[in-house]
Structure 1
Amino acid sequence: MSYITAGKDANGHDVKLHYTDQGQGKPIVLIHGWPASYEMWEYQLAELPKHGNRVIAYTRRGFGQSSKTWEGHDYNTLADDLKAVLDELDLQDVTLVGFSMGGGEVARYMSRHGGARVSRVAFVAAVTPYLLKTDDNPDGAPKENFDKMIEGIRKDRFDFLATFGKQFYGVGAMSHPVSQATLDWMQSLCQIASPRATEQDVYAFAATDFRQDLQSIKVPTLVIHGSADETVPAKVSGERMTQFVPQAQYIEYDGAPHGLFVTEKDRLNSDLLAFAGAHSTTAAAAGSSSAAY
């Protein structure tokens, strides 16, 4: 397995980030969502490198096969970890793609590190601009919603993950957009995260205000969100992004849940390829709404 060293933890041990590096060409860096690992990008890792791209995906600290640190579950540290990935691999002209919690890393990196090495950014079902409801953010979600998540994790993390996975993919009594096998696969990715990171990262993505970070973004920006996302509702996130990133193009996938990297994988792949500037025969054949940028 391949690892990048992202500094040291409080005990002086190397922090290792597990990653994969596929294909050749212009780099696309994929940042996964909570509480999974880079393997969630299975359908993107299988397709994007076919179109003249070098595709890198890594797992944040505390999750998957990366180091299980006790500390460092804040966005400043996570943005520094992202910088370590870009620097270690000496990537240039990067298309940075953040899903859900990963959108926060994109926003914080662009402000904290001046967008170094990055030429385009994409936010997919992202937690930006600010999830928590406050006096100056009345469209956010109540703190009680996140308190219940923490309570569920502490009571029975595995049962919480099973229930969360169904909502994540929009599974209900009359709706089965993914198979039980896919739910089991997602559960397996999430279970190996450390309990500490699983809990602490809820505080991070819930309470971090990215509004000022977003205003630092000057590069081409793509925002994709599902209209049926119950995990990070579009009205709280995607629909508000152009308020802070005026040049952003917003694409809403009608009826798509949070886990659209699986349920809408072909359309997402096409839109990401078009945005990154790569030739996409799929996008051309499908007549994607985002065929050119």
Structure 2
Amino acid sequence: MPYITNTKSSGEVAIFYEDHGAGKPVILIHGWPLSHRSWDGQVTALVAAGYRVIAYDRRGFGRSGTEWNRYDYDTLASDLHALITGLNLSDVVLVGFSMGGGEVVRYLTNYGTERISKVALIASIIPLVPQKEDNPDGVPQEELDKITDALETDRLAFLKDFHKNFYNYSMLKKDVSEARLDADFIVASGASENATQKAAEAWATTDFRPELKNVTVPTLIVHGDSDNIVPIKTSAEQAAKGIINNEYHIIEGAPHGLNATHAFELNSLLLNFLNK
């Protein structure tokens, strides 16, 4: 199995990745609390279109190694940098889903654009999740506190319900199968409990607004207007205003997990953007 070891972080954490296809490299960064397998519907389409697709597991998730303390975005971006330099990649397209948008922006802040040609933010948390006086459309702190409490008291029960909201799943609206929910639960419940909590703290508290100026490469922003996890007004709408060189697409009716429920629409947008 392919691993890259980040020797610059404490504990020398091993990062698992899959590498398929040839051509221009596209790195897919998964959301919380899943793994690289959440990108399966995109990997197939991108490889078939002639791209080299690399999908990896964030530390503490999937098959990657774990440690106790470091799940802040500087550390997570250093894992991404270790992957890019370890594989000696250039002309890279970074694609971040949800929490993964944070790695994209922090990578550009800390390491620049020398190896990066384009980026994409898909249902991303960028630039800010929590509600504040200057971010009235964010998620209220009491709702974030409920997530923290649930992860500490009964993580598995929380995860069981979380992915229904992820896809806006209900008895009247089944955008994904129960098998998909079961598969996501297996992946999420298999992640490190500590990593799940600390990664949630990272995406729930980091303010990327000052870093939007560092996103200078062409950027694709895609978000669903029915996203119940990351409200569009606190994320994509602000990102589109703060990132100079972007194209912004709203997928009507799409929930947070649009990479599964609206895979055809997302794949079309990604390929159009990559092919330009």
Q: Quickly name the TM-score band, shorter chain normalised.
A: over 0.9
Which amino acid in the other structure matches residue 83 of structure 2?
Answer: V
Q: Structure 1's 113 and 193: CA in aligned 2 closer, same or farther, altered over 3 A?
A: same
Aligned to 1:89, which of 87, 90, 102?
Answer: 87
1:200 deviation in Å?
0.8
2:16 corresponds to: 18
> Aligned equivalents of 1:137 and 1:249: distance in 2?
23
Q: 2:222, 2:236 within 8 Å by CA — same for their partners in 1?
A: yes
Q: 1:5, 1:15 within 8 Å by CA — same for their partners in 2?
A: yes
1:246 deviation in Å?
2.6
> Aligned equivalents of 1:206 and 1:93: distance in 2?
31
> Aligned equivalents of 2:242 and 2:180: distance in 1?
35
Q: 2:20, 2:54 within 8 Å by CA — same for their partners in 1?
A: yes
Which amino acid in the other structure matches residue 190 of structure 1?
Answer: A
Q: 1:131, 1:237 within 8 Å by CA — same for their partners in 2?
A: yes
> Aligned equivalents of 2:253 and 2:129: distance in 1?
21
2:118 corresponds to: 120
2:3 corresponds to: 3
> Aligned equivalents of 2:152 and 2:215: distance in 1?
37
Matches within 5 A, 1:251-262: 251-262=249-260
Deviations 1:157-207 (A, max 9, x none): 111111001000110231100000011111111111101111111110011
Q: 2:62, 2:191 within 8 Å by CA — same for their partners in 1?
A: yes
1:9 deviation in Å?
5.5
> Aligned equivalents of 1:189 and 1:274: distance in 2?
30
Moved more, 1-10 or 141-150: 1-10
2:60 corresponds to: 62
> Aligned equivalents of 2:81 and 2:5: distance in 1?
11
1:45 corresponds to: 43
1:238 corresponds to: 236
Q: 1:146, 1:202 within 8 Å by CA — same for their partners in 2?
A: no
Q: Structure 1's 219 and 230: CA in aligned 2 closer, same or farther, altered over 3 A?
A: same
- Does 2:135 correspond to 1:137? yes
Aligned to 2:167, which of 159, 166, 169?
Answer: 169
1:286 corresponds to: none
Aligned residue for 1:235, secondary structure, equals: helix
1:241 deviation in Å?
1.1
- Does 2:155 correspond to 1:154? no
2:221 corresponds to: 223
1:280 corresponds to: none
> Aligned equivalents of 2:236 and 2:12: distance in 1?
36
Percent identity for Structure 1 against Structure 2 = 46
> Which runs of 5 or more structure 1 residues have no equivalent in the other structure?
278-292
Q: 2:8, 2:78 within 8 Å by CA — same for their partners in 1?
A: no
Moved more, 155-164 or 24-33: 155-164
Aligned residue for 1:24, secondary structure, equals: coil
Which amino acid in the other structure matches residue 54 of structure 1?
Answer: R
Deviations 1:65-106 (A, max 9, x none): 111111210001111111111101111111110000000100
1:137 deviation in Å?
2.5
- Aligned-CA RMSD value: 1.2
> Aligned equivalents of 2:215 and 2:152: distance in 1?
37
> Aligned equivalents of 2:34 and 2:113: distance in 1?
25
Deviations 1:119-147 (A, max 9, x none): 00100000001111223333322211111
Aligned residue for 2:194, secondary structure, equals: helix
Aligned residue for 1:36, secondary structure, equals: coil
1:111 deviation in Å?
1.0
Q: Report how many residues are paired.
A: 276
Aligned residue for 1:199, secondary structure, equals: helix
1:45 deviation in Å?
1.5
Q: 1:9, 1:69 within 8 Å by CA — same for their partners in 2?
A: no
Which amino acid in the other structure matches residue 252 of structure 2?
Answer: D
1:116 deviation in Å?
3.0
Q: 1:4, 1:88 within 8 Å by CA — same for their partners in 2?
A: yes
> Aligned equivalents of 2:23 and 2:211: distance in 1?
29
Q: 1:35, 1:190 within 8 Å by CA — same for their partners in 2?
A: yes
**What is the TM-score normalised by the length of structure 1?**
0.91
**What is the TM-score normalised by the length of structure 2?**
0.97
